[in-house]
Structure 1
């Protein structure tokens, strides 16, 4: 059995939460690697199943298990693993995925060819929860497994082409760029990758399907489209826009603003919040973390400058431009919302007036008097009706 001697070359980071049926496959795929100079740092985020027992069943001193005392979420658990890892390279692998036996060997070979590399991914093969080919795999893989140059800012606009489970990150570079934003749930890896790009890290992707990724309902990335939209917007505002401006990539800045303005999730925000988000993307103020950004977007405090900036951003999409139709749709939605609000408010006031009027008009005494009046004229009405027979 291999023993740990000094600093390992690779530190595999495996995050687990209720993945007892998968994590055994994940760990075996690491133990079967052709490069054996590694440690495995497993962080269990308070699993309620037998995940911890499965990890402990592997009798290998290179496996280090960290069990959180309370639930930290994916980003918080990842940060614990990064701080505990000792390897020259940090190799990410989610507890429901697995890798080909020669993955690390091929990625290290790419580093030998280009020692400037800091982050190396691979192409992926997408499977379902049972490890069988996913029905959507052909279309998904056709988009992901393309020769995307991840060193170009424009290739990151609204898209994450780097699968975390395929990535290998130089530890020295990771410590320089910092940890995950622990408040992010849907796209912490996207924020980390775009921050690495902003801070000068060099990317590469091995064009071989060496990572096997499960796509199933328990994944968190696409479970909250609005939350993901806000996290992506934050990452682009924080990392991509300053980098694009520094490189004088003005069309890229325009495409980022257009991506936010055209996104379907923007209409799910209340109008003032949608305008605030666009205003923030234009102004790019500094925020300590995603929590502060989200609080500012969803704030109800009046900030006419941000709201005006956001509204003006939509007016730049004139007729004939790509954003014109969306700008019109948002303005129509806002107008319809105001119209509906005014209509139902008027209806409520009308029925309240009717209720009070009837309550004062139709007292028991008045109702009885009306019935008596009708009783008196009933015989005359009957005679008239008989005349038409």
Structure 2
């Protein structure tokens, strides 16, 4: 029998919903850890017994299972994990990802070596459905101060780490005091916003060892459609306010020119990130409007684009041409473009998981 302390050092939180294919692998990667003082909380929105049966089959005292009726949604589950976690540290594990055996032990050693760290991570390996390696993400310096971390956090994907919820270790009480995970449309920005808020509080420490496996599959790839562009843009603007305030607050207390320069660079990088995201929202909004018989929707979107000063994107000119075609031709063109976008998102060079 495994003895589990009332207050384990580390809590592992696994938010899940319906997906049974990989949950066993995720749990096995927890049980294989070389560090033993941890608990696992499986937070499940599934309304049948499929996930519950898998979890209970392990019969482990480390496991705590929570079933939500009605479903809470991802961000509400993440915030509830902040309250339920008994450990000093919390590590999120998405239900299709997996840890290497030494992850918890190494991150705790780094936490002991850097007691003021607010966020700890290892390098990630992106894998496919069968667990085969696709690519490794970038290696960061072992310690980044807040300004250096914020400078890097919003860089484009090919210059950044694989951004994800899985594998980041932090104090749940600290994130809870900062307001928790921010609940935006389709859980957009949930990981990046949380890491920005925590990273602004203290150093961010990274292990160069590859100890996290992030699975890329059809169900995890960023969606090729955005049903409600209005909510999408609203979420982007909420994030804009949060991050700009965060950077401004850091600038107000910065004591060195290097720190100030890093924070100005962070602001520039964030502006680029937000522009890319808002362009994407408008891209998909315009695409959906092309298939609508209401021509006014297309004009409204173009007006929004001008009002918010959203940069032009590569497909905008094509959409402006297509909007003059008859409806049947527009619908056929939209179907072709959606197929192309889905293929494009699945290319290995562009594979990234959504924060949702």
TM-score (norm 2): 0.69
- State the partner residue of 1:9: 9
SS at match of 1:5: coil
Q: Which has the larger radius of gyration?
A: 1
Residue correspondence of structure 1 range 29-68 to structure 2 within 5 A? 29-46=29-46, 48=48, 50-68=50-68
Alignment of 1:156 with 2:156, yes or no, is no
Larger displacement relative to structure 2 (182-191 or 203-212)? 182-191
* Maintained 8 Å contact 1:9/1:87: yes
Higher mean C-alpha displacement, 40-49 vs 104-113: 40-49
Indicate whether 1:197 and 2:194 are aligned: no
- Alignment correspondent of 2:101: 101
Query: How much does 1:171 deviate?
Result: 2.3
Distance 2:113 2:194 in 1: 25
* 3-state DSSP of counterpart to 2:166: helix
Q: Which residue of 2 aligns with 1:381?
A: none
Partner deviation per Cα, 1:58-104 (whole Å, 9 max, x = no partner): 11122110001122222122222222111100111112211111111
**Partner of 2:182: helix, strand, or coil?**
coil
8 A Cα contact 1:29 1:99, kept in partner: yes
For each residue in 1:344-380, what CA deviation from the matched residue of structure 2 results, as whole angstroms up to 9, or x when unmatched? 9xxxxxxxxxxxxxxxxxxxxxxxxxxxxxxxxxxxx
Name 1:147's counterpart in structure 2. 140
Structure 1 gap ranges (5+): 279-306, 315-322, 345-389
Aligned 8 A contact 2:118 2:199 in 1? no
Specify the SS of the correspondent of 2:60: coil
Q: Is contact 2:225-2:284 (8 Å) kept?
A: no
Q: Which residue of 2 aligns with 1:172?
A: 173
Which range is displaced more, 157-166 or 227-236? 227-236
| CA gap 1:191/1:262 in 2 versus in 1, 3 angstroms | closer
Structure 1: how far apart are the matches of 2:5 and 2:273? 50
**What is the Cα-based RMSD across aligned positions, in Å?**
3.4
Partner of 1:182: 183
Q: Does 1:233 align with 2:230?
A: no
Aligned length: 290
Question: 2:119: which partner in 1?
Answer: 119
Give the structure, 1 or 2, with the largest relative contact order (CA under 8 Å, sep 6 or more).
Answer: 2
- Of Structure 1 and Structure 2, the greater helix share is in 1
Structure 2 CA distance for partners of 1:262 and 1:122, relative to 1, 3 Å: closer
Match of 1:244 in 2: 247
> Residues of 2 paired with 1:47 and 1:201: CA distance?
40
2:207 corresponds to: 206
**Separation (CA, whole Å) in 2 of partners of 1:122 and 1:65:** 27
The 5 A counterparts of 1:338-349 are 340=324
Aligned-partner SS, 1:75: helix
After superposing the two structures, state which structure 1 stretch, 250-259 or 19-28, moved more. Answer: 250-259
CA gap of 1:272–1:16, structure 2 versus 1, over 3 A, is: same
**Runs of 5+ unmatched residues, structure 2:** 252-259, 286-297, 328-356
2:19 maps to 19
- Which residue in the other structure is 1:363 paired with? none
Structure 1's 277 and 178: CA in aligned 2 closer, same or farther, altered over 3 A? Answer: farther
How many Å separate the matches in 2 of 1:34 and 1:73? Answer: 32
Q: Residue 257 of structure 1 corresponds to which residue in structure 2? A: 271
**Residue aligned with 1:18, SS:** coil
- C-alpha distance in structure 2 between counterparts of 1:259 and 1:239, whole Å: 14
**Structure 1 residue 224, shift from structure 2 partner:** 4.5
